[in-house]
Amino acid sequence: MLSAAGIGRAAYDPETISMLTTVLERAVAALPHQDRTEERRTRLATSILSAAARGERDPLLLYATALGGGPWEPAIGEGPASQPIRSKYRRRSRIA
């Protein structure tokens, strides 16, 4: 796991910062209201930033990493408040 100092040294362009912010907002929105604490928000942000510092840029994978499973699992709470993030980094099959 990366240290907080390692996360602090990462630099991101404005588009990436916007995407990371959106991922965090949607991950927080997926939590039950009683779990939307500042401590939980900080843990989600740390998880997202750690994955981003390792090079992950797929919003769906960042979201799943933050929530510690997959998107919209029943144990996490209700579904997201908005539509799922569509990844522009989606892997395409090479089979025609």
Over residues 75-90, the pLDDT tens digits come to 444 444 444 455 555 5
**With a threshold of 0.75, does the pTM exceed it?**
no
Each domain of the chain, given as residue ranges in start order, spans 1-96
**Is the Cβ–Cβ distance between 45 and 24 less than 8 Å?**
yes
Q: Quote the pLDDT of residue 68.
A: 86
Residues 4-47: tens digit of each pLDDT: 545 557 789 999 999 999 999 999 999 999 999 999 999 999 99
Per the CB < 8 A criterion, the answer to whether 13 and 64 are in contact is no
